[in-house]
Amino acid sequence: MGAGIGGLTAALALSARGHDVTLIERRTAFSEVGAGLQLSPNASRVLADLGLGPALRRAAGEPARVCIRGLASGRQIGEVALGRAMRERFGAPYWVIHRADLQTILLDAARGRPGIRLLVGRAVTGLSEDGAGVALTLESGSGRIETAAADLAVVADGVRSALRARLDRRRLRALYQAAWRATVPREAAPPALRGDETGLWLGPGRHVVHYPIAGGRTINLVAVMPEDGGSEEWGAPGDPSRLRAAFADAAPPLAALLGLPESWLVWSLVDRPAARPMARGRVALLGDSAHPVLPFLAQGAALAIEDAAVLAGALAGGQPVPAALARYAADRAERVRTIQAHARRNGRLYHAGALVSAARDAVMGRLGPARMTERYAWLYGWRPLGSA
Ligand SMILES: Cc1cc2nc3c(=O)[nH]c(=O)nc-3n(C[C@H](O)[C@H](O)[C@H](O)COP(=O)(O)OP(=O)(O)OC[C@H]3O[C@@H](n4cnc5c(N)ncnc54)[C@H](O)[C@@H]3O)c2cc1C
């Protein structure tokens, strides 16, 4: 259940292994916000293996590098090699893509597979299980109730998952930081920031990421800054003047870029430990419902995509469903916790104050582009067990 990036990839991976899948989605329309997504080689490899490589290559960009700068000084701190360096080192590209383009590619692929039945406009409101299978209760917007039965249920209903509590009752924790997202036409950006690269600007308590998406026509902007309250609403409109005030000290080209969007959407950042366990009996959690990842490592969707590949592999071995799902949960446990921890640590490093940031900048500067990439070999070099 849930036709986000995780649910759609899981449906494709399971159907590729010969399973019949019913994908249940609460929304009626698949309008993704105008924002971008980074797809690192650990995820792009899985999607390419599902036959989506050509479509993704047409829609995605492949920036040559990440240029890391001081938010206020504008001084270059370090560089991470992407583009060809990533492909040659990890055998798969580091793509950046418009979320809507990725969603469309996944959805078109799912619609083209006879083994996948897509039920939209139905929220899963109940789930019960016995020795033989699972029974789901579905409710449409008009209040109509339906039931569906299956051998197993994959819960991929996102960070605010209603059904995760069946396996793990720990609550979401507000981070009191928010990610503001916007897009601007590339030709409107300051010339220094129009290049084919990802920009990462670090300052105390704040950072900004930008990269070109939509065939290079648009620049995707993400600015993370402190917030007081924390909103339940995911992607609420934000007041551009608040954003500009929070980044008033930004270096001139960054300030000019941040001044361009007329509208911003705001995501209050939340965290929660990975579910223990990620699966029990005939129910498995997948993606953000199992393990939300703070956006400081760009790995939330990537992990959901990895989950999908591992789940399909675990279910291919002919074991009884509960044993296969237990194998999936065991395979994922350490990796998802490690990545969650790295994302938290990156957040602390990105937003560090004077002392720690001086040490951070010195290390990044000394390492150089290739070694900065190599530090993440454990992350980007990942392959599902049993893959070539
Ligand atoms: C600012 C920001 C930047 C990010 N950047 C990156 C990045 O660069 N790279 C990256 O890999 N990740 C990134 N992420 C994370 C990424 O967006 C998420 O991790 C990813 O979308 C999770 O996918 P999912 O399928 O688990 O959940 P979702 O995409 O949230 O999908 C859940 C789906 O379930 C549906 N649903 C919910 N409840 C029900 C129900 N009861 N019944 C039926 N359907 C239901 C929802 O409508 C939705 O379609 C970022 C996140 C943020 C906030």
Domains of the chain: 5-63+91-170+273-347 (3.50.50.60)
pLDDT tens readout for residues 18-59? 999 999 999 998 776 668 999 999 999 999 999 999 999 999
| Ligand 1 centroid to residue 57 C-alpha, Å | 22
What atom in ligand 1 is closest to the CA of residue 99? 17
Mean pLDDT within 146-151: 96
Token pair recorded at residue 313: 């592999």
In short, whether 7's Cβ falls inside 6 Å of ligand 1 is yes
Mutation probe of ligand 1 site: the residue of 95, 118, 154, 157 with most atoms within 8 A of C-beta: 157
In short, whether 179's Cβ falls inside 6 Å of ligand 1 is yes
Q: Is the pLDDT of residue 374 over 70?
A: yes
Mean pLDDT within 309-322: 96
Q: Is the pLDDT of residue 388 over 60?
A: no
In short, whether 118's Cβ falls inside 6 Å of ligand 1 is no
Whole-angstrom Cα distance, residue 262 to residue 276? 42
| Ligand 1 centroid to residue 150 C-alpha, Å | 24
Report the nearest-CA residue for atom 51 of ligand 1.
295
Looking at residue 29, what is its pLDDT?
A: 80
Mean pLDDT within 105-123: 96
| Ligand 1 centroid to residue 77 C-alpha, Å | 31
Give the pLDDT band of residue 232 (cuts 50, 70, 90): low
Which sequence positions are flagged as catalytic? 211
Report the nearest-CA residue for atom 6 of ligand 1.
298
Rounded-to-10 torsion of CA 125, 129, 133, 136 = -10
Report the nearest-CA residue for atom 19 of ligand 1.
300
pLDDT tens readout for residues 52-64? 999 999 999 999 9
| Ligand 1 centroid to residue 4 C-alpha, Å | 6
Looking at residue 131, what is its pLDDT?
A: 87
Closest by Cα among 114, 116, 43, 93 to 308: 43
In short, whether 298's Cβ falls inside 6 Å of ligand 1 is yes
Q: Is the pLDDT of residue 199 over 80?
A: yes
| Ligand 1 centroid to residue 285 C-alpha, Å | 13
pLDDT tens readout for residues 164-182? 999 999 999 999 999 999 9
In short, whether 23's Cβ falls inside 6 Å of ligand 1 is no
Q: Is the pLDDT of residue 241 over 90?
A: yes
In short, whether 208's Cβ falls inside 6 Å of ligand 1 is no
What atom in ligand 1 is closest to the CA of residue 6? 25
In short, whether 225's Cβ falls inside 6 Å of ligand 1 is no
Looking at residue 35, what is its pLDDT?
A: 87
In short, whether 192's Cβ falls inside 6 Å of ligand 1 is no
Mean pLDDT of the residues in the chain: 95
Mean pLDDT within 300-311: 98
Looking at residue 185, what is its pLDDT?
A: 96
Report the nearest-CA residue for atom 17 of ligand 1.
301
Q: Is the pLDDT of residue 218 over 60?
A: yes
| Ligand 1 centroid to residue 340 C-alpha, Å | 15
Q: Is the pLDDT of residue 228 over 80?
A: no
Give the pLDDT band of residue 387 (cuts 50, 70, 90): low
In short, whether 41's Cβ falls inside 6 Å of ligand 1 is no
In short, whether 37's Cβ falls inside 6 Å of ligand 1 is yes
| Ligand 1 centroid to residue 288 C-alpha, Å | 6
Question: Are 368 and 297 in contact, with CB atoms under 8 Å apart?
Answer: no
Looking at residue 235, what is its pLDDT?
A: 79
